[in-house]
Amino acid sequence: MSYDLLLARIDERLKATGMSERKACITADVGLNTIRHIRKRGHAPKPVNLQKLAVALGVSPSYFLDAAGGDEPVQTARAPEAEEVPVGTVYVKGAVQAGLWQEALDWPAEDWRAINVPADSRYIGVERFGLLVRGSSMNRVYPEGSIAIAVRTDCIGRMPRTGERVVVLKRGESGLEATIKKYEETPEGRRILWPESYDPAFQAPVILDDVALALSRDGHDADHASALDLEIIAIIVGSYRPE
C-alpha cells in the first residue's frame, strides 16, 4: 500500500515546524525510524504512533490517520485551519511524589527536560511547567512516570477551585516538602486536600481549615494541618502519561 498522502502531510508539518524526522520522532516518543520505515519500506504505521506524531507536529491526529487510511491526490492535501493544534514547549523542572509528602525536588536548570504539549488557551502568556510524578499515591489520575503540567497560583491571580488538583508545599523538618492532591472547599468553608489512589494506604485527607485544629478526631481519618505550614503554590492544568 502506498502512503504518499500521509508522507506528504508529514513532510508539510516537518517543514512548518522546522523539525527533522528524527527530532519529530523523539518529541513524539516513538521509534526513531518510524517515519523512515514508512517512507523507505512502506511499513504500515501504527495508529497510536500517528496520533503521537500528529500532536508533536501540531495537528489533529485525524489529519494523519485519515491519510493513512487511503490515498487521495497529493495536491489536495492541505491541513484545514480548524485541524491545526498549536503546540507549546513546557519544561519539566522537577519531580513530585503525588499524594505523599516528599522533599521538594527542583532540578538544576541544565537538567530541565523540554516537551511539546498542546497550547492552553486558558493560560495565554502564563508560564506552564512540568513535574515528573513518582509513586502510586495518586495513581487513579497520575500513574507513576506521568508528567503533571502546572501553573503557579501567583501567575494566574487566583486560588484553586473545588475539583482542581494542586501542588502543595509543606515545611518539614528537613526543609520544604511537596505533593499533589485534589482540592475541595465544602459549603461550610472547610478546605480539604484529597489523595486519589487505589492503594488503601493513601486515603486520608489533609484538612486545612483552622476549625480542624481544635479537634483531635472529626470522623475522618484526617491529617489536621495548620495553614501556616502549608502553601498551595500551583494548579495542575493538564498531564501527559506514556502508554
Q: Where are the domains of the chain?
A: 4-83, 87-240
Domain 87-240: CATH superfamily, name plus number: Umud Fragment, subunit A (2.10.109.10)
Percentage of residues of the chain with pLDDT beyond 70: 77
pLDDT band per the 50, 70, 90 thresholds, residue 235: very high
Nearest to 114 by CA among 96, 89, 95, 131: 89
Place of cell 508539518: 13
Residue-wise pLDDT for 19-46, tens only, equals 899 988 888 888 888 998 888 878 778 8
Measured from the Cβ of residue 242, the count of other Cβ atoms closer than 10 Å reads 9
Q: Over the chain, what is the mean pLDDT?
A: 79
**Three cell numbers written together for 192:** 480539604
Residue 116 Cα distances to 29, 47, 82, 120, angstroms: 11, 20, 20, 12
Q: For 18-32, 52-66, 80-94, 158-172, which range has the lowest pLDDT when averaged over its residues?
A: 80-94
> One fold for both 4-83 and 87-240?
no
Per-residue DSSP letter, 43: P
> Cα–chain-centroid distance for residue 186?
27
The domain 4-83 is placed in CATH, from the list 3.40.309.10, 1.10.3720.10, 1.10.260.40, 3.30.70.2520, at 1.10.260.40
Q: Classify residue 20 by burial, with Cβ atoms within 10 Å: 0-12, 13-18, 19+.
A: exposed
CA 168, CA 191: separation in Å to the nearest integer?
A: 13
* Cα angle 132-135-138, degrees, rounded to a multiple of 5: 90
Tens digit of each residue's pLDDT (9 = 90 or more) over 108-124:
888 888 888 888 888 88
pLDDT of residue 178: 80
